[in-house]
């Protein structure tokens, strides 16, 4: 109960939660509230400015930008959640094994983590995507498979501390197996920093997906995403500012929302961490 009291006292955390929930609801309700088909071409309304009919204007094919922004929200959040889910699963498993067993297992896993951290994440993603067909599924997998190292370190650190606690030693004395101790006793107590990292990771994944789509190797047209809408706006910036402004603001607000939410969760879990 103390967690929720501390969380809702933090106005910035509540603002972040409100932003996240708003975009989540929009992505669910998109098929029902979108005013147009996201792929519908209207040659009579090419690069039309924002108006009552087209709230965010139209693009160079006459497609409604507001509709495409709504569908793009679903794509971005889907990539963020799935990619972070993959990274979290890998990070938890490797971190738990490394921290619990220690010894040569810990050495091998942590040296592998160090090797992965030597490569700049975004350039590693670019290199992998270059060899694969650009698609939303490949993007989810690649982002997830290249962003688990931080969670691995967090989980390992928690396990190194928790495995020496009395409740773990008592379970060992009672003859409990390693699997039971890891997943039923230590892991639930090690999830707090993982939750914070995962929340912040969604923001990072949204940024990476947008950047990849902007570069043309992410979500491919005609599937709408905030990144490829920005790409269209790059070539028409002088005559169609709305193609760059609205998706840019959507990315900014989404990332800000997840960052505020993650910081709020961190401070509510352990107020001593508040800067």
Q: Provide the pLDDT for residue 221.
A: 79
Q: Provide the pLDDT for residue 272.
A: 55
Q: What is the pLDDT tens value at each position of the chain, 275 positions in all?
A: 577 888 888 899 999 999 999 999 998 999 999 889 888 888 888 888 999 989 999 988 889 999 999 999 988 888 889 999 999 999 999 999 999 998 899 999 999 999 988 888 788 788 777 777 777 888 888 899 888 999 999 999 999 988 888 888 887 788 777 888 888 888 888 888 898 899 999 999 989 888 888 888 888 878 888 888 888 888 787 788 888 899 999 999 999 999 999 999 988 886 555 54
d(C-alpha 65, C-alpha 56), whole Å = 5
Check if the beta carbon of residue 126 is closer than 8 Å to that of residue 208: no
Find, among 164, 162, 169, 167, the residue nearest to 189 by Cα: 162
Cα of 140 vs its chain's centroid, Å: 10
Check if the beta carbon of residue 138 is closer than 8 Å to that of residue 170: no
d(C-alpha 257, C-alpha 125), whole Å = 24
Q: Provide the pLDDT for residue 106.
A: 93
d(C-alpha 134, C-alpha 139), whole Å = 7
Q: Provide the pLDDT for residue 254.
A: 93
d(C-alpha 213, C-alpha 112), whole Å = 29
Check if the beta carbon of residue 228 is closer than 8 Å to that of residue 221: yes
Domains and CATH numbers, the chain: 2-36+55-273 (1.10.3720.10)
Report CA-CA distances (Å) from 17 to 3, 40, 182, 250, 264: 15, 33, 31, 15, 9
Q: Provide the pLDDT for residue 126.
A: 80
Q: Provide the pLDDT for residue 274.
A: 53
């Amino acid at each position: 109960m103390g967690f929720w009291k501390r969380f809702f006292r933090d106005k910035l955390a509540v603002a972040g939660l409100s932003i996240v929930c708003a975009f989540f609801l929009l992505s669910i309700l998109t098929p029902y509230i979108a005013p147009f088909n996201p792929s519908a071409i209207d040659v009579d309304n090419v690069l039309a400015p924002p108006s009552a009919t087209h709230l965010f204007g139209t693009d160079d094919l006459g497609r409604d930008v507001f509709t495409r922004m709504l569908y793009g929200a679903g794509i971005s959040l889907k990539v963020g959640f799935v990619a972070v889910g993959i990274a979290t699963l890998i990070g938890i498993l490797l971190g738990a094994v490394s921290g619990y067993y220690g010894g040569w297992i810990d050495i091998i896993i942590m040296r592998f983590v160090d090797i992965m951290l030597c490569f700049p994440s975004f350039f590693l993603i670019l290199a992998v995507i270059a060899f694969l067909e650009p698609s939303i599924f490949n993007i989810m997998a690649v982002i997830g498979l290249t962003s688990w190292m931080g969670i691995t370190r967090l989980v390992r650190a928690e396990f190194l501390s928790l495995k020496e606690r009395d409740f773990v030693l008592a379970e060992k004395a009672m003859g409990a197996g390693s699997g039971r101790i890891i997943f039923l006793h230590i892991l639930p107590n090690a999830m707090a920093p993982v939750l914070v990292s995962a929340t912040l990771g969604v923001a990072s994944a949204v940024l990476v997906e947008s950047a990849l789509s902007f570069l043309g190797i992410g979500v491919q047209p005609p599937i709408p995403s905030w990144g490829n809408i920005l790409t269209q706006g790059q070539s028409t910036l002088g005559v169609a500012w709305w193609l760059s402004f609205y998706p840019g603001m959507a990315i900014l607000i989404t990332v800000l929302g997840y960052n505020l939410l993650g910081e709020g969760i961190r401070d509510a879990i352990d107020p001593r961490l508040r800067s």
